[in-house]
Chain A
């Protein structure tokens, strides 16, 4: 079955099983490997992408849900890594191992789009589904606040 969708601004027509997880399509069909496989059960957030601007866990999202819609991955957040959050991530030295950071950035980007100056509670509630086994949570929060103008 053909699935038509827009990925990072580019129209794509894919011959894939409509039940295939979007993450598989991104990584194995399209080679967009910035989005990571973590748990496969929507529990860790490593696979976070945007579907029509909404945060979704691509490991459990069947690609049929994206039919006719727009998907943004970490590769599409900015063409050259210059999104304010990506710059702040570098300046704050946020990543340690880095595996979860694409998902962290995608959720943080969605948060700041809806709440340009989020409260600590809003940051905690929105980022609660993105786990970091290195424990970089404080630096993640600092970077988000740096971009929002609310940080130190």
Chain B
């Protein structure tokens, strides 16, 4: 079941802001963010180049700048880029690497968080994450209810 969810988690709309480094990625090709920005001490950029220096609380269609509330990078310990579904699964269950969340909180976060929601409403011709946030929330809830099993290493959707 987690393999199905990993199609969303590893989609560029989601994974680009879960980089395994200090630079966010962009586009379907997952290229480094332009203008060149860096993670900063709180995952929100550095002075002069903060995420919200440019990103607003909603998409800007004319300027093509994506936006959603609380725009920021996922912390380094939540990196998904280049990780296997099993790695991400274990990470998502680990409070030391998931922001201290319980599995119930993980379900709620995935189903209702406004920044997560951006993945399905990315604006300006960007390819959305697969399905809908509601479907994704149901999938994650079902995964938790059935024991939050992780796929074997090497398993791919």
Contact = CB atoms under 8 A, between A and B. Distances in A.
Contact of A61 (B34, B37, B56, B64): B56
Interface stretch (A29-37, A79-87, A89-97, A120-128): A120-128
A126 B47 contact: yes
Given A55-B53, A59-B63, A129 B46 contact: no
Q: Is the interface of A mostly helix, strand, loop or mixed?
A: mixed
A41 interface: yes
Interface residues of B, number: 20
B56 A129 contact: no
Interface string A89-114: 00000000000000000010011011
Contact of B54 (A57, A62, A65, A130): A57
A41 B49 contact: no
Nearest to A113: B47
B48 A111 contact: yes
A137 to B, nearest CB: 13
A124 to B, nearest CB: 9
A40 B63 CA distance: 6
Contacts of B142: none
Given A114-B47, A127-B48, A43 B53 contact: no
A55 B48 contact: yes
A112 to B, nearest CB: 9
A54 B35 CA distance: 18
B131 interface: no
B48 A56 contact: no
B38 interface: yes
Interface of A: 40-43, 54-57, 59-62, 65, 107, 110-111, 113-115, 122, 125-130
B26 interface: no
B63 A41 contact: yes
Interface in B27-68: 34-38, 46-50, 52-54, 56-57, 60, 62-65
Contact of B49 (A59, A65, A129): A129
A129 B53 contact: yes
B65 A55 contact: no
B48 A60 contact: no
A125 B53 contact: no
Nearest to A112: B47
A126 B54 contact: no
Nearest to B35: A129
Contacts of B48: 55, 107, 110-111, 125-127, 129-130
